[in-house]
DNA sequence: ACTGGCACTCGACTCTAGCGAGTGCCAGTC
DNA sequence: GACTGGCACTCGCTAGAGTCGAGTGCCAGT
């Protein structure tokens, strides 16, 4: 079923107007505000077709039209023109991110920036450990039978774990252990460490052995099994904009979903930088978020991907701007982290 | 102005009923559900007095009574009977917190637990750095002119900073530096470190000096100036319970306030463990939270205080239960952290 | 293929009336 | 003097009726 150019123009106009006004748009308004060059009656015919095809719908019989998820999808895929960031926005990005003092700081600033610019809920994943390499391992004696293991990743992330040793261990041995694990593991990607850790255990004999065995399990736990992804969130207050019109009245399910880290990870995970992912309404796998749209992408230096970031908002959002902003912020953060 | 026992009983009954039903309570209901031993008419007279004194009010002329902030205050101070935790709750607390693997984990679990038990928004402050001691300092070379400084506190918190050295520095010197700072600083409370850091700089001469000077400024920054307090939050979805009856319709200001770490710190900061703080409605200094109540306390092993935790909810909350839960969780966490 | 005109739909808003929970007050009782 | 039963009154809530108007679908005409 063909949609000629004018019908597409009408759809675009409907989306743009609806996003701007938040009210169902009628045929008359449409011809007034856009140069469509035809009469309202003609537009109405086009609308009827668009509705039949499922791109728009009427909230009630005697109301204007509203885009459906499918309509937004078509808009995003084929109709939206890229909206370049304003100089003010560019400046905001730069200003916001300079002076970040450590990784936590970078992430926090980023998520706030994103929330502020898009006026939506922003989500930023910390650089994934799975894609990081070991920069340094540190063993700090806490008592004679306890060590604290600290792992520093090249992305700046730091993980810590307490190691309960099977028996007391002299300080010199701790130094030996530290040296051993560092020699073997520094520089390798976390995902690749298991065989090396195993090798470590095999190599060691004598008094050090029991300690090394314990340490190895904690190491594996820290490096691969339990490397929790971390996530930062900001801008939940933005959900309340637009009264309760969006999200049919209840923020509940959305807030609930946003508290689940697992859910958030699914949301923004696994997209290569430069590729944008837009999930509109029903396209979301997470039921609680069927009333929202999610715009996300990966970030990282160049093509490598360190983590994901994105925003969650009403399906009725300004896609072009949002997409542009998310992309810009992702790029900026990627570059910033590359400097470490 | 004297409030005799029965008037107090009436106030208590009003608070309890209103909290339970969320609806203005009238004199008839009151005598039905509580054994007050008098007629509705008498209760009405008491109510009139209570209203005059500002403890309750009528939403509209022909409605029942609702407690005012002042009424809740009196209730909390003098009328509420301690509600011991149910065994199920005790068990939940224990189950929730065992198996926590590091500090992050403890804090996250705690905040979720608290949100779940109280069915409100929970806030937990990480153990404050100001009250921690240095357990270990680590210097990891990142490049020839950059070090990563990692500070491990006895509370389990780990802070990191990048140090840009004035010039290249050989690995051996890094080892020397590390030894120096550790010798001098390990074991002292962060707040007490500045003179020691200064002493360190004065002691060192020769090639190491410029590096030490730079390091010292970063040290000071990390240890005292910029030790950002960290905070965890959970349960915002609980704000939506009770429809929009609480919070007169808009969650906006509350969500906004909850995103400001500074605000949160003020909320839950600086109460000794065992002392509970309850701020009801207007008693809150933060304007955005005038419609809420905050129940908070400090936690820590014994009497020392490591940080604060608490919950934020509608003024119409079940104070006895909430207070009991917050206290119990705080104790539990305090003990848990004492084991490190 | 487009347009002007027209009848129609239906939500939003206003107005009115009736209901009933809850009150304040007062005279009467223990 | 404290409490009670009774009664008139208030006022928010709900339901129903009426009106308005934006917006539509359809059709005949250009």
pLDDT tens profile B107-148: 999 999 999 999 999 999 999 888 888 988 989 888 888 888
- CA-CA distance, A162 to A215, in Å (whole number)? 10
Which residues of chain B does A160 touch, with a Cβ-Cβ cutoff of 8 Å? 102-103, 152, 156, 158
- CA-CA distance, A292 to A314, in Å (whole number)? 5
Strand D nucleotides, any atom under 7 Å from protein beta carbons: they are 3-6, 10-12, 21-27
Q: Do B138 and A136 touch (CB under 8 A)?
A: yes
**Does the structure show a pLDDT above 60 at A1?**
no
- Residue A116 pLDDT level (bands cut at 50, 70, 90): very high
Which residues of chain B does A161 touch, with a Cβ-Cβ cutoff of 8 Å? 101-102
Q: Do A150 and B150 touch (CB under 8 A)?
A: yes
| pLDDT at B67 (0 to 100) | 96
| pLDDT at A57 (0 to 100) | 93
Quickly give A17 CA vs D28 C1' distance in Å.
32
Mean pLDDT confidence for A23-51: 89
Q: B50 CB contacts (<8 Å, ≥6 apart)?
A: B3, B7, B10, B11, B14, B56, B65, B71
Q: Do B140 and A135 touch (CB under 8 A)?
A: yes
Cα A50 from chain centre:
33
Query: CA geometry: angle at A185 spanning A181 and A191, to 5°?
Result: 130
Residues of A with a Cβ under 8 Å from any B Cβ are 101-104, 135-136, 138, 140, 142, 148, 150, 152, 156, 158-162, 221, 226, 228, 234-237, 239-240, 244, 250-252, 255-256, 258-259, 340
| pLDDT at A253 (0 to 100) | 92
In A, minimum Cα distance to B164 occurs at A340
Quickly give B24 CA vs C14 C1' distance in Å.
29
Token pair listed for B177: 């530096």
B1 CB below 7 A from strand C atoms: no
Average pLDDT over chain A, rounded to an integer: 88
* Minimal C-alpha gap between A268 and chain B (Å): 20
Which residues of chain A does B230 touch, with a Cβ-Cβ cutoff of 8 Å? 104
Closest CB to A240 among B103, B159, B251? B251
Whether the pTM exceeds 0.85: the reply is yes
Q: A242 CB contacts (<8 Å, ≥6 apart)?
A: A22, A314, A316
Quickly give A316 CA vs D27 C1' distance in Å.
35
- CA-CA distance, A84 to B58, in Å (whole number)? 55
List of E strands, A187-340 = 231-234, 276-280, 292-299, 307-314
- Residue B82 pLDDT level (bands cut at 50, 70, 90): confident
DSSP per-residue string spanning B20-89: HH-S-B-HHHHHHHS---S-HHHHHHHHHHHHHTTSEE-SSTTS-BEE-HHHHHHIIIIIPPP-PPPHHH
| pLDDT at A249 (0 to 100) | 65
Quickly give A80 CA vs D22 C1' distance in Å.
28
Closest nucleotide (CA of B30 to C1')?
C22
Considering chain A, what percentage of its residues have pLDDT values greater than 90? 42
- What is the 3-state composition of chain A as percent helix, strand, coil, each rounded to the nearest 5? 50, 20, 30
Mean pLDDT confidence for A307-321: 94
- Residue A244 pLDDT level (bands cut at 50, 70, 90): low
Quickly give B11 CA vs C22 C1' distance in Å.
17
| pLDDT at B281 (0 to 100) | 93
Quickly give B247 CA vs C15 C1' distance in Å.
31
- CA-CA distance, A331 to A308, in Å (whole number)? 11
DSSP per-residue string spanning B184-239: HHTTSBGGGHHHHHHHHHHH--TTHHHHHHHHHHHHHIIIIIS----EEEE-GGGG
In the 3-class helix/strand/coil scheme, how is A34-103 assigned residue by residue? CCCCCCHHHHHHHHHHHHHCCCEECCCCCCCEEECHHHHHHHHHHHCCCCCCCHHHHHHHHHHHCCCCCH
Yes or no: say if B103 and B126 are a contact pair by the CB < 8 Å rule.
yes
B63 CB below 7 A from strand C atoms: yes
**Minimum mean pLDDT range among A121-135, A263-277, B285-299:** A263-277
Mean pLDDT confidence for A275-295: 93
| pLDDT at B98 (0 to 100) | 81
A38 CB below 7 A from strand C atoms: yes
Mean pLDDT confidence for B73-78: 94
Token pair listed for A195: 């065989």
Closest nucleotide (CA of A56 to C1')?
D24
Place of tokens 């792992």: A151
Mean pLDDT confidence for A270-275: 74
Closest nucleotide (CA of A59 to C1')?
C11
Name the DSSP class of A189.
B
Yes or no: say if B323 and B276 are a contact pair by the CB < 8 Å rule.
yes
Quickly give B50 CA vs D19 C1' distance in Å.
47
Q: Do B140 and A140 touch (CB under 8 A)?
A: no
Higher pLDDT, A228 or A117: A117
In B, minimum Cα distance to A255 occurs at B237
* Minimal C-alpha gap between B2 and chain A (Å): 45
B44 CB below 7 A from strand C atoms: yes
Mean pLDDT confidence for B20-30: 90
Mean pLDDT confidence for A185-195: 89
- CA-CA distance, A146 to A163, in Å (whole number)? 6
In B, minimum Cα distance to A241 occurs at B252
**Minimum mean pLDDT range among A301-305, B323-327, B331-335:** A301-305
**For strand C, which residues in window 176-195 of chain A come within 7 Å by CB?**
none
Strand D: list protein residues with Cβ under 7 Å.
A 24-29, 40-41, 44, 47-48, 51, 58, 62-65; B 6, 37-39, 41-42, 45, 60-63
Token pair listed for A254: 């959305």
- CA-CA distance, A305 to A130, in Å (whole number)? 11
Specify the DSSP element, H or E, that contains A266. helix A261-268
- Residue B223 pLDDT level (bands cut at 50, 70, 90): confident
Q: What is the pLDDT of residues A69-108, one digit of tens each?
A: 999 999 999 888 888 899 999 999 988 878 777 888 889 9
- CA-CA distance, B175 to B177, in Å (whole number)? 5
Query: How many residues are listed for chain B in this entry?
Result: 340
> Nearest Cα to A333, choosing from A129, A112, A152?
A112
**Does the structure show a pLDDT above 90 at A122?**
yes
Considering chain A, what percentage of its residues have pLDDT values greater than 70? 96
Yes or no: say if A250 and B240 are a contact pair by the CB < 8 Å rule.
yes
Query: What is the number of CB-based contacts under 8 A between chain A and chain B?
Result: 92
Which residues of chain B does A138 touch, with a Cβ-Cβ cutoff of 8 Å? 136, 138, 140, 150
Yes or no: say if A48 and A10 are a contact pair by the CB < 8 Å rule.
no
């Amino acid at each position: 079923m063909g949609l000629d150019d004018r019908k597409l123009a009408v759809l675009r106009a409907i989306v743009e107007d609806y996003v701007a006004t938040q009210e169902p748009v009628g045929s008359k308004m449409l011809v007034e505000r856009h140069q469509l060059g035809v009469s309202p009656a003609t537009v109405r015919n086009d609308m009827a077709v668009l509705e039949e095809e499922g791109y728009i719908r009427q909230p009630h019989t005697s109301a204007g039209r509203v885009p459906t998820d499918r309509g937004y999808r078509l808009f995003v895929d084929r109709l939206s023109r890229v909206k370049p960031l304003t100089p003010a926005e560019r400046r905001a990005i730069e200003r916001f991110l300079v002076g970040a003092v450590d990784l936590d700081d970078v992430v926090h600033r980023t998520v706030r920036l994103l929330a502020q610019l898009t006026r939506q809920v922003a989500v930023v994943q910390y650089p994934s450990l799975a894609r990081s390499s070991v920069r340094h391992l540190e063993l700090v004696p806490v008592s004679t039978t306890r060590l604290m293991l600290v792992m520093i990743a090249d992305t700046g992330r730091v993980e810590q774990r307490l190691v309960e040793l099977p028996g007391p261990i002299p300080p010199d041995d701790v130094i030996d252990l530290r040296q051993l694990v560092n020699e073997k593991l520094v520089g390798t990607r976390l995902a690749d460490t298991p065989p090396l850790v195993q090798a470590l255990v095999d190599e060691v004999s004598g008094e050090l052995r029991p300690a090394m065995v314990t340490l190895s399990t904690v190491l594996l736990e820290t490096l691969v099994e339990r490397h929790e992804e971390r996530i930062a969130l900001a801008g939940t207050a933005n959900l309340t904009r637009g009264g309760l019109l969006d999200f049919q009245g209840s923020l509940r399910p959305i807030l609930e979903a946003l508290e689940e880290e697992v859910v958030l990870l699914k949301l923004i995970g696994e997209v290569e930088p430069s590729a944008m992912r837009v999930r509109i309404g029903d396209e979301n796998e997470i039921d609680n978020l069927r009333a929202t749209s999610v715009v996300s992408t990966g970030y990282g230096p160049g093509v490598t991907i360190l983590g994901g970031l994105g925003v969650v908002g009403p399906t009725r959002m300004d896609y072009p701007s949002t997409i542009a902003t998310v992309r810009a912020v992702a790029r900026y953060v990627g570059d910033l982290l590359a400097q470490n």
